[in-house]
Amino acid sequence: MQAFLSAFGGLVLGVLHGFDRLVFRGHLRQLAYTHGMNGYLYANQVLLKDFTNHAKERTALLLASSLADAQRQGRPIVYLNSSQLSKEDEARRIAERDHIHQGLICVLKCVEPCWTYEVHRNRAAKKLELRGKQGKCSFLYHYLQHPEFGFMHIRLQTWYPFAMQVCLNGREWLAQQLEREGLSYQRRDNKFLALEDFARAQALLDQQLQTPWPNALDTLVQTVHPAHPEILGQAPVPYYWSVYQSEWASDVLFRSRADLERLFPQWVRHAITTYRSTDVLRFLGRAIPLSGQVHQGF
């Protein structure tokens, strides 16, 4: 970026560096592996022969508590029966239709692949065994217009082990920060086309780096999963958070559209003739062998 600005900085109005897409995953670590799940069931005095009924009961409690706020507010709870439907597009359509500028937009329900458990009969050992497996279950997507983070969603698995995922956007978050400070801006999709104060906008993006994420994410849990941790009975395991996706973006705003239209074809040609497939794969987060050659699987 510094090399780019040294060559074209005279044509640039301003630059922003900061978070773009951010996705966090929350797991109940004791419930994430078979031995730990067996210990959890033992603590709650659940026999393996009763596991299915126990799990159905816990799922029913989770659903009732998670959907209660939407039902109280009269917000839509929509079942999507196809993975081809865009959840974000549906949520934005509902937000625009209902003029939702803050708070819960909707809850979308769907069935998706998941990691879960089932009980098997080991005929050789003549006993029941709990086994982890790839399966399918119902998920809840809570779409919010959050007062701090802006448009975002939280995904909740409704069957053991109740994994969660929080997805937000740093540029959406910046827009909320600018509005709280009364700073004007123009925005289209995920891009800022104009800013009243570039220096202050960058300072606000830098503030995002100081966020105490465990506290912020645990607070979000309570908005969509209020039954946690009581639903876990005698083993109230907390959520452990990890970063699943983290995108860092630089926005460059040019003073003149004509300058950008003149230079952009040159940059595209430079990219095509200079960068190799391995450079693109590294940018996409793919591992490159020590030989430096593209793996045959790509």
CA–CA separation, 159 and 171 (whole Å): 33
Q: Which amino acid is at 184?
A: S
Same domain for 235 and 278? no
Residue 266 in any domain: the answer is yes
Instruction: Report pLDDT for 11.
Output: 94
In the chain, the percentage of residues whose pLDDT exceeds 70 is 100
Instruction: Report pLDDT for 119.
Output: 94
Same domain for 279 and 209? no
pLDDT digits over 8-17, tens only? 999 999 999 9
Helix (H, G, I), strand (E, B) or coil at 76: coil
- What element of type H or E holds 253? strand 240-254
Q: CA angle at residue 278 from 247 to 9, to 5 degrees?
A: 55
107 confidence band (pLDDT: 50, 70, 90): very high
Higher pLDDT: 125 or 128? It is 128
Q: What is the pTM of this model?
A: 0.89
Same domain for 275 and 237? no
Same domain for 113 and 214? yes
The answer, yes or no, to whether residue 289 has pLDDT greater than 80, is no
Residue 190 in any domain: the answer is yes
Instruction: Report pLDDT for 283.
Output: 79
Instruction: Report pLDDT for 281.
Output: 84
The answer, yes or no, to whether residue 91 has pLDDT greater than 80, is yes
Helix (H, G, I), strand (E, B) or coil at 139: strand
Residue 10 in any domain: the answer is no
Strands (E), 72-126: 77-79, 103-122
Query: Whose CA is closest to 27, among 173, 221, 250, 246?
Result: 221
Same domain for 249 and 292? no
Instruction: Report pLDDT for 137.
Output: 95
The answer, yes or no, to whether residue 26 has pLDDT greater than 80, is yes
Instruction: Report pLDDT for 190.
Output: 86
Same domain for 156 and 229? yes
Residue 131 in any domain: the answer is yes
CB 153, CB 128: distance < 8 Å: no
Same domain for 271 and 245? no
Residue 5 in any domain: the answer is no
Average pLDDT over residues 158-162: 96
Strand 77-79 relative to strand 103-122, pairing: parallel
CB 43, CB 234: distance < 8 Å: yes
Q: By residue range, what is the domain housing residue 274?
A: 256-298
Same domain for 165 and 274? no
Least confident of 50-59, 135-144, 182-191: 182-191
Residue 272 in any domain: the answer is yes
pLDDT digits over 209-267, tens only? 999 999 999 999 999 999 999 999 999 999 999 999 999 999 999 999 999 999 999 99
Same domain for 63 and 77? yes
Residue 130 in any domain: the answer is yes
Q: State the total domains in the chain.
A: 2
62 confidence band (pLDDT: 50, 70, 90): very high
CB count in 10 Å sphere of residue 98: 13
Tokens of 153: 């969603």
Residue 171 in any domain: the answer is yes
